[in-house]
Structure 1
Amino acid sequence: MKTAATTIINEQEISDILQKYSRPSHEEVRDVLAKAAEMKGLNLQEVAVLTGISDPLQLHELFETANHIKDTIYGKRLVLFAPLYISNLCANECTYCAFRAKNKAIVRRSLSQNEIEHETELLIKQGHKRVLLVAGESYPKQGFQYVLDAVQSVYRARYSDAEIRRVNVNVAPLSADEFKLLKAEKIGTYQLFQETYHHQTYKNVHLGGKKRDYDWRISALHRAMEAGIDDVGIGVLFGLFDYRFELLAMMQHIAELERVFGVGPHTISVPRMEPATGSDVASHPPFPVSDLEFRKIVAILRLAVPYTGIIMSTRETAKMRSETFALGVSQISAGSRTNPGGYEEGVDDDVSGQFCLGDHRPLDEVIRDVAQMGYVPSFCTGCYRLGRTGQDFMDLAKPGAIKAHCGPNALSSFMEYLNNYASPETYQTGIQLIEKTIAGMEGLPADRARKLVNRVKKGQKDVFC
């Protein structure tokens, strides 16, 4: 009997393809890069060819192609968000995670709804507009209702007259009925990582709890989309198994979503294993990914799925994060805490957090650094609120029409941040970038951008097109 694991992920096919293209010829690499530049995506064989690149000149061509595609589709724009950990309770035994059930080295905590609202207020005070709500895979006595109430608490929170405008959610796989309830709370993206697509490795690192069920997890995004959640996010924890296998398996997962629903994931996350309290595995990854390989992963994904957002977390250092902006990253977290109550405590807590952070900069410093590099920090949530999600988003993205909205909206949301939250130094850097960016626009996007930014300068908030 075929299961979701064998239906979606064909390990033998992946193995055969990787073996065939382990040492691709220069002609094969050039052909794939030429096709990738057309921004129509790549198949398994073509992705395998790119994983086989080792020649420095061809690596340079790979990175240049990724840069071109990133700029063509997204422009100089980076979406910012913050994770909000509401609980580190967990019933699973994942060997790489500090939240695993038997780990006695961390203090367990689940925030009350009042505490969740307060943590959100602190994020709003910093200037955040997007939150990724995260919970360990076990809940207080309220059960799944705790998550639904938490989403409401985030949306209810206010600081002055500001609020969070979009909540994305990363929680345990749900039943179809539970996904419908989550959809009713007006979430943005539902995010779930398979961690590793390699079946035996998955079994080896998940020693107990519901998460041990590979099929239940890999089929979760199907249930989410069947329940009406248009945007879903996927990811792999790089370091658990061969990154080349994981990339091809991820492509199989994406292909299955596209076959069934006509659209793949809205985002792909690329977390790399970092040390975690109480985990020897996290400190010594079975398949460590070098910095060069990590940049290669980001670039290949940008070529393979050009219209899918790529998320870079604060697991990575500021240097590594900045190096991946030009390779395809379109969303980043900033000022993150990975322990419940971390924003109130105001300090990084790598002991009680899910993993160790690599980038400890506060939001304002991240924004200033990003702007100095020429990238526009964006807090826009316009597409979610105007229904440009799922297939509707892709219908605008693929012909390039979405840029007429995303560019102006990014600038107006950035202007709003500068007006209300920025330090003087960040304000001056930001204003210069906004003027330079608008000057480089043409036609409708330029007119829209100027009008939206001027409205924000006059005191209006939450303006978008």
Structure 2
Amino acid sequence: MSFYEYYNKYKNFNYEKFFNSISDDDIKRILAKDKINEEEFLALLSPKAEQYLENMAQKAHRLALQNNGKAIEMFTPLYLANYCVNKCAYCGFNCENRIKRNKLNMDEIEEEAKAISNMGFRNILILTGESAKATPVSYIVDAVKVLKKYFQCISIEIYPLTQEEYNRVVEAGVDGLTVYQEVYDEQIYDKVHIAGPKKNYKFRLDAPERGCISRMRNVNIGALLGLNEWRREGFATGLHAKYLQDKYPDVDMNVSPPRIRPHAGVFEDVYPVNDKNIVQYVLALRLLIPRIGITISTRESAEFRDNLIPLGVTKMSAESSTEVGGHTVKNESDPQFDTADKRSLDEVLNSILTKGYEPIFKNWMHI
């Protein structure tokens, strides 16, 4: 059974009725359990559970220490190109947005790699806009060959690939995959993805599983919070992560809780999501899947990121730029979105150490 079939049983689920049925005793009972099921996970996302965030935080903290210790894996993004063929209402790379487009050649990629490597990073996430014509798989493979000289861990966040293509990039040296479904509600998905190959909901939904089949070491998923009511999207993301973790136990599953940031273009149909909401979401995820990895990017403010560390964060970015070649090539393209945490790497590291955690630049490599 595919995740689409699994998730479809909640297609007509009455979330409001369910949330209204949750009592204080329900939350207390759930928090006393060693293992929770999917409906109990949804209960922890309910308005009623907001009153128990401290209890949830204490348990999530214990589980995070048991399963992940006090290590925070560090990475930075490297944008290779921003050409895109999709018309997505919420994205700065929207093909109809009049932004400066750019694509790095292999020499420029090596220049970026040297600059990032000299900062100490050994874990990198490479990104492109979604254009198989501008950045074909062959281009990604060639870029990975360059990057392998400088980094032990290379993850990709590009357009969804076929099974054969994922096998190809894994063979080239890619060991991590990030694919955000953006929004799990199929009707909203169709509405905000106006045109382009990204409009294919099922092909994107199945991409993380294709990555697992290709033996990616880690797979990162998430919904872009703000495109739909956050509780529903958080629930769908948790279900997706658990489905993949249970089916592919050798893969390290990660979830990111990104929310919409300012970007080129205008998109005003945003559902509210605040810091407290994200905290509740992160805590509930940890209680559903105790070993889950949780990534917090520089979309979030410095203060908020620091406060999330003890709650189970396992991976953080630093020195982030969403411009193509943003570490060495300045003002040659427009960013995908604005970052909120603009601290230097040293400042981020000091904050992590102050919290009693250890920043890790390398924790795995090919043998």
Q: TM-score scaled to structure 1, two decimals?
A: 0.74
After superposition, the C-alpha distances for 1:378-422 in whole angstroms (9 at most, x for unaligned) are: 11232x436xxxxxxxxxxxxxxxxxxxxxxxxxxxxxxxxxxxx
Q: Which moved more, 1:201-210 or 1:5-14?
A: 5-14
Q: Distance in 2 between matches of 1:43 and 1:129?
A: 37
Which amino acid in structure 1 is aligned with residue 339 of structure 2?
Answer: L
Q: Name segments (4+ residues, structure 1) moved above 6 Å.
A: none
Residue 276 of structure 2 corresponds to residue 295 of structure 1:
no
Distance 1:220 1:54, change over 3 A: same
Partner of 2:67: 73
Which amino acid in structure 2 is aligned with residue 369 of structure 1?
Answer: S
- For 2:28, which of 27, 30, 33 is the aligned residue? 30
Q: Distance in 1 between matches of 2:338 and 2:204?
A: 25
Aligned length, in residue pairs: 367
Partner of 2:127: 134
Aligned identity (percent) is 30
- Alpha carbons 2:216, 2:251 under 8 Å: kept: no
Deviation (angstroms), 1:17: 5.5
Residue 357 of structure 2 corresponds to residue 375 of structure 1:
yes
SS at match of 2:73: strand
Deviation (angstroms), 1:263: 5.7
Q: Which moved more, 1:331-340 or 1:133-142?
A: 133-142
Partner of 2:259: 272
- For 1:119, which of 96, 112, 121 is the aligned residue? 112
- Alpha carbons 1:255, 1:264 under 8 Å: kept: no
- For 1:97, which of 73, 91, 96 is the aligned residue? 91
Partner of 2:236: 249
Q: Which moved more, 1:298-307 or 1:13-22?
A: 13-22
Q: Distance in 1 between matches of 2:351 and 2:245?
A: 37
Deviation (angstroms), 1:18: 5.5
Which amino acid in structure 2 is aligned with residue 293 of structure 1?
Answer: N
Q: Distance in 2 between matches of 1:99 and 1:238?
A: 18
**More helix by proportion, 1 or 2?**
1
Residue 317 of structure 2 corresponds to residue 333 of structure 1:
yes
Residue segments in structure 1 that go unaligned for 5+ positions in a row: 157-162, 387-465
Q: TM-score scaled to structure 2, two decimals?
A: 0.93
- Alpha carbons 1:312, 1:332 under 8 Å: kept: yes
| Correspondence list, 1:362-441, <5 A | 362-382=344-364, 384-385=365-366
Which amino acid in structure 2 is aligned with residue 226 of structure 1?
Answer: I
After superposition, the C-alpha distances for 1:164-213 in whole angstroms (9 at most, x for unaligned) are: 21111111111111111111012121111100100001001000110000
Question: Based on CA coordinates, which of the two structures has the bigger radius of gyration?
Answer: 1
Distance 1:142 1:54, change over 3 A: closer
Deviation (angstroms), 1:313: 0.4
- Alpha carbons 1:78, 1:377 under 8 Å: kept: yes
Q: Distance in 1 between matches of 2:31 and 2:286?
A: 12
For the aligned residue pairs, the C-alpha RMSD in angstroms reads 2.2
Q: Distance in 1 between matches of 2:130 and 2:363?
A: 27
Which amino acid in structure 1 is aligned with residue 143 of structure 2?
Answer: A
SS at match of 2:148: helix
Deviation (angstroms), 1:11: 5.8
Q: Distance in 1 between matches of 2:135 and 2:65?
A: 46
Q: Which moved more, 1:286-295 or 1:332-341?
A: 286-295
After superposition, the C-alpha distances for 1:31-50 in whole angstroms (9 at most, x for unaligned) are: 11122xx3x4x322111111
Which amino acid in structure 1 is aligned with residue 221 of structure 2?
Answer: I
Deviation (angstroms), 1:80: 0.6
Distance 1:329 1:103, change over 3 A: same
Distance 1:375 1:255, change over 3 A: closer
Distance 1:285 1:311, change over 3 A: farther
